[in-house]
Each structure stands twice: as C-alpha cells, then as structure tokens.
Chains A and B, each alone.
Chain A
Amino acid sequence: MLTAVTSPKFLRAALPGASFAILLAAIFYVQPRAMSYFGLNLMLQYAVPIALATIAQMFIITVNDLDLSIGAFVGLTATIGATLVASTPLLGALALLAAIAAYGALGALVHWRNLPSIVVTLGMSFVWLGVAVLILPTPGGSAPGWVKAIMGLKTPWVPFPVVAALVIGIVVHVFLMMSSYGAVLRGAGGNPRAVSRAGWSLLKIKVIMYSAAGFFGVLSGLSLIGLTSAADAHIADRYTLYAIAGVILGGGEFVGGRVSPFGAVVGALTLTLTGSFLIFLKISPDWQIGAQGAVLIVVLALRALIKRREV
C-alpha cells in the first residue's frame, strides 16, 4: 500500500493536484474571504480561458511542437468574437472556422516542409496580431450576450469555473487519453516513425492536432470576452507563456507525447492562483514575476526528483 503511494508514477500524477491544493490552502489561510462560492468564482474565473489556451498548447506539445502564437491567436478570436460574432453571427462563425482551418494548414505546413514549429508560430503570431488590429483598431467591441450569459452562469453549489475546468478536463481526457485514435495521436509524439510505419498518416495527425489547438484557441478567446465583455487585440498576449507553463506544470513533457489533460487544466488553475496569492501577500509587483517563476521552478524541481527515482 505504502509502496503504491510512494511510487514515482503516483507521485508524478499527484504533483499538479498537490501543488494546487497547497496553494489553495495557503490562499485560504492568508485571505479567509476567498473560501466561499463568491471568492472561488472570482479567483478562478480568468483561469477558464487560460485553461482552454493551455489545452490548445497541449495538443501542439503532444506532437513535439511548440506554439508561440496561441496568445496572439486568442487575441484575434476575441476581437472576432466581440465584432463579427456579435453583429453578424453567420459571418462571425465563418471567420472563426477559417481561423481554425488556418491553424490546421499551419500543421500541414510544419509537417510538409519539415519546418521548426517555433519559427512558424512565432511568425504567425505577428500575422494574428496584425489581423486582430485590422479588425479592431482600438479596444472595444462588445461580447455577444450568449457568451456573457455562459461565462456568468451561477451553477448551484460548485462555482462555474470549477465546473468548466472539470468538463474541459474530462472531454479532452476521453478524446486524447481513452480513445484508440487518441493513443495514435500521442504516439505521433512518442515515436513518430513507428506510427508512420504502422500506416498512419503523420500529416493527417498534425493537421488534426493543430486544428484541435485552433478550436480550443477559439473557445479561449470567446470565453475571455465573455468575462471582459469587450476585446482588445493585445488582450491575451501573456497566454502564450501561461499556456506553455500550464502544460509543463501539469505534468506534461516537451517531447515524447507525454501529456495530461487534467494536469494541464490544474496547471492553468495553479498559475492563476499564484498571481492571486502573491497579490494577497502584498508582494511588490517588481518581485511578482520572479515569485511566479520561483513557484514554477519549485514544482519542476520536485518533478525532477521524482523522475530520478523513476529511472
């Protein structure tokens, strides 16, 4: 029994949840007011779009790529959401579908020309930002009512952000971790050559994964404007790094197709809470970024310790 609990595999899976729980307990201790439906709702609301962006990033990382444009892309979908989707829903839906298709095409390009994804996505981040500025030159627009209604949902007993995080985690877990095609998709990150030899099309896999990332990027943008009620081309610039940090905090690896949807969602929640915790502690803003980095390093160091025992 004890060996099962202290086994590296279990520790590794438990680490994201444990970091989250410890941080939450610390916040409750510092600011008891946070320990309520209202408090949790307020603190975790902005974790929902971050969690969605993290899942998007996770799809890309699963196939050993890295997406440096997800923040700008979320900004673009937010501007589309606050303009076209609100004024002409049909056109808006088409624009969002086109954005997802463009993401899929990026996957094809990366695979076809064997380009480094970092370079392609970094370049694309400027394209997304440019298009977003064209659509919405000055901050503004207004989120469609139904998006605001969803994000403002008052679920009974459990705050909406928690419910949303669970739903996102479960849906992606079933798709990526439990379905047989999900295993193939992850295999493309673990051993692409073997997957390709077994007759699966790597091109198709990349296109699917990039499209999935685009889809979750769209969800992230829409959920974000549901909270802010208006958009700004620069609204999600930080999400790129948040998303990468979320995946890694949640137990994912940069290579090898080793990812965890639940972990990624918990990682996103943890990152959001870190910000709250530092504000509650009244840490000077000059130190906050550094302190956030320190939390990341502590978690990663713990993981490195566990990994050593794994070998």
Chain B
Amino acid sequence: MSMFRLMGASLLAVTVGAGAAMAETSKMRIALSNNYAGNSWRQAMLKSWDKITKKAVADGIVAEAPAFTTAENQVTEQAAQIQNLILQGYNAIVVNAASPTALNGVVKQACDAGIVVVSFDGIVNEPCAYRIAVDFKKMGSIQVDYMAGRLPKGGNLLEIRGLAGVFVDDAISGGIHEGVAKNPQFKIVSSVHGDWAQDVAQKAVAGVLPSLPQIAGVVTQGGDGYGAARAFAAAGRPTPLITLGNRYDELQWWKEQKTANGYETMSVSIAPGVSTLAFWVAQMILDGKQVPKDLTVPFLQINQDTLEKSLATTEKGSVANVEYTLDDAKAVAAGK
C-alpha cells in the first residue's frame, strides 16, 4: 500500500516536473475580445494583432488566435461575447474592454473557468485579470519635461486638450499640469479642447490666438498638433515648439519643417501594436512564466533622429506603429 502511494507520488512529481520543463503553448488558443473598431488607431491595432498572431500560429507557438470585435461598443454585448469565448474553451482571452468595471462579472467567470484574462488599453479592474495600462499622466508630464530641456528659460504654454469628459483627457491634462508645477518657469496661458482631431484643434487654436501673448510651446494630446501648427501659420505668428502625437499628418508636417528650417520637436503616443504586447504576455502566462498583474504600456516616442524611419512605416491617415515581440513582453513583465 505504502509502496503504491510512494510510486504514485513520484509519478506525479515526474509529470509535474516534465510539464514545467517543456511548457508548451502550441496547442493553446488565445482570443482577442475587442469593444470597438471605428477609428484608425483601432484598425491598426487589429491589423497588428492579425499580422503577429498569424505568424505565431504558422510558427506553431499557439494553435489559434482569432479576434472578435463587438459591433456597437456596448458592455452587455462584450460580456456576452466573452461568455461565448469561455464556452469555446479558449485558454486565454485578451480584452480591450468597453468598461473598466462592468465586465468584472464575466471576467471573474473566465478566471474561475481557468482562463487567463489579459486586459490592455481599456483595462478591467477585476483583480484576477492582468492589466497592461497606459500611463496617461506620464504621457502629459514627459512633454513638459522635454519642453524644460529645450526651453530652459521657460515661457508661455498653450495646452490643447482632448474630448471633454473622457477620463483620458483628464489624465493627460493632469500630467501636463503636474509637469508645469514641477517646472515653474512655464505658465499655461490658455487651454482649448481639440478633441484629438486636427480640424477641431485648428479652429479652437485660431479662436484664442489673437488674445494670447507670445507662445513658447504647445503641449498636446495627439491628433491635434498639426491643426495647432496650421492655426499659428494662418495667423502669421512664429511657429512655437509643438509636441506631437505620432499621427501621420503631424509627422509629415514635422518632416517638412525639419527639411525647411531644421525644426526640432518630439512626438509621443501609444502604438496600436500594444495588442501584440498583450498577446505575448498572454502567451508567457500560458507558458507558465511569472508575470505581475499590473504592467505599463511602453510609450512610442519619436525623436529628431528617428523621425524619417517612423514616417516611412506609418500609413497615410494612420498613426505610427510598432509590433512587439516576445522579448519586448518579457522586458515589460520584468518592469524594464
């Protein structure tokens, strides 16, 4: 009897050991649950997912990794979608969520069914899920830090905000104001809402420009820098230092200015390819690797010397993108 038990125990130990040693994800399936596909950023996000996962499937890293998008950006619809993915027996579900809280119920169900849930961009706050969040505050403050490096004497800043009432707008703006508090040589003389769109930003900036003193710099949220530049040009005022947000027309404008008069600035945003980072994180977890529950998305920053390269790979009307690799995911998981 005891002999049998001993054998059983050692057999168990062997299988467990073998499982850990050759942890295999080639038969595993990862699904993407996406809540919205109606803008260029999301389109690029889905394209990146498709590209990287197709290759991963061909390479035998995972068995399948389809993407599912809900048609109307509704919480209830996405919850039902995730329930169906649970039923289909996916090993991991990568989520860009319609709501940070209202999917908690179904995310918990997925976890209870032994499914790994990785949320990114639109994260979920259910503790059992992994989160790859964007540090929007930092996205604001690094712009002011860059300004401080470029304009040591400081000056007046014009802030272009996003869509009023959206938390992303509050977070980026909060970061900008924190940065200004840290660098008191700067003063925000006006804030306008550009709604992350060039035309709206141009109109808004043109509206306030006549009443503004000399502007040293314009801090933006992305999608609005080119519009601001056009408003300054139309008003016949000198072009200030405008930080940009990786959109094609912004980079194109920067390139023109750089060629014409050596204009220098920086551009920062989140690459839509962050979906592929989430894919690799999910794969790592399935592979038995230890990953912290809360991760931060790396920024995609474009500098004076990387401008041409980034512009060349950015599609017209889209936003600069990178696809991440397993090594990138490992670095993010290690907190680098």
Contacts and interface: CB of A to CB of B under 8 A. Distances in A.
Given A42-B86, A228-B103, A138 B167 contact: yes
Nearest to B97: A139
A89 to B, nearest CB: 21
B122 to A, nearest CB: 11
Interface stretch (A115-123, A162-170, A187-195, A233-241): A233-241
Contacts of B103: 228
Interface stretch (B75-83, B180-188, B284-292): B75-83
Contact of B101 (A139, A237, A239, A272): A139
A39 B75 contact: no
A34 interface: yes
A308 B290 CA distance: 65
B74 interface: yes
A228 B71 contact: no
A171 B76 CA distance: 26
Interface string A225-257: 001111110111111000000000000000000
A276 B104 contact: no
Given A33-B89, A138-B167, A280 B84 contact: yes
A228 B126 CA distance: 11
A158 interface: no
Contacts of B234: none
A238 B77 contact: yes
Q: Which among B37, B66, B85, B99 has the highest number of chain A CB atoms within 10 Å?
A: B99
Contact of B68 (A46, A228, A239, A285): A285
B88 A33 contact: yes
B28 interface: no
Interface in A263-311: 272, 275-276, 279-280, 282, 285-286, 288-289
Interface of B: 37, 66, 68-72, 74-77, 79-81, 83-89, 99-106, 108-109, 167
Interface of A: 31, 33-34, 39, 42-43, 45-46, 49, 138-141, 224, 227-232, 234-239, 272, 275-276, 279-280, 282, 285-286, 288-289
A282 B80 contact: no
Given A227-B79, A236-B76, A286-B71, 5 more contacts: A43-B87, A49-B76, A228-B105, A276-B83, A289-B72
Contact of B109 (A31, A42, A141, A279): A42
A230 B101 contact: yes
Contacts of B105: 227-230
A41 to B, nearest CB: 9
A228 B84 contact: no
A276 B102 contact: no
Contact of B70 (A237, A239, A285): A285
Given A236-B76, A238-B74, A45 B83 contact: yes
A285 B67 CA distance: 10
Given A229-B108, A232-B99, A235-B102, A33 B87 contact: yes
Contact of B83 (A33, A42, A138, A239): A42
A141 B101 contact: yes
B87 A42 contact: yes
Contacts of A236: 76
A139 B83 contact: no
Contacts of B81: 275, 279
B22 to A, nearest CB: 27
Given A141-B101, A229-B108, A289-B71, A235 B76 contact: yes
Contacts of B77: 238, 275
Contact of B87 (A31, A49, A140, A224): A31
B88 A229 contact: no
Nearest to A137: B165
B94 to A, nearest CB: 16
B76 A224 contact: yes
B76 A43 contact: no
A140 B167 CA distance: 13
Contacts of B106: 227-228
B21 to A, nearest CB: 30
Contacts of B70: 285
B248 to A, nearest CB: 24
A280 B89 CA distance: 11
Contacts of A42: 83-84, 86-87, 109
B79 A139 contact: no
A140 B104 CA distance: 10
A128 B266 CA distance: 44
Q: List 10 A-B pairs, minimum CB-CB distance, nearest first.
A: A230-B101, A285-B69, A232-B102, A279-B84, A228-B102, A229-B105, A228-B105, A139-B99, A229-B104, A42-B83
B310 to A, nearest CB: 30
